[in-house]
Amino acid sequence: MENKKTLLDTLGIEIKLLEKGKVIATMPVDGRTHQPFGLLHGGASVALAETVASVGAYELVDKSTQGVVGLEINANHIRSKKDGYVTATGTVLHRGKTTMVWDIKITDEQDRLISVSRCTIAVLNINKD
């Protein structure tokens, strides 16, 4: 997947596992992803969560005729984090013709829950002419 000059590249997000219905990605917790108090920014966690859901959803569609976009996302931030890495694991909960729902859990290196999100993805029919 090409991610140069995108949010993935800017935030240092790396896709580690991509299977049908499951995605795992990591993101550093550093100056790129901090809020002003030196903690992981909730928006960075949400960006990671939506990335995982979108990448996973795209793996499940017919790429010749369909695309995917985030439709809705919510997040609960459970624990703060100052440095290191976080890992997002996303699994598909619902796979419909026009929408998908993904569950994303973000954990730290000790497998402690940092954030949990649910993301709804819209499946779009596209014309690639």
Q: Which residues are catalytic?
A: 50
Q: Which residue has the tokens 């290196």?
A: 109
Of the candidates 28, 97, 21, the one whose C-alpha atom is nearest the C-alpha of residue 55 is 21
Q: What whole-number distance in Å separates Cα of residue 100 and Cα of residue 98? A: 7
Helix, coil or strand: residue 33 = coil
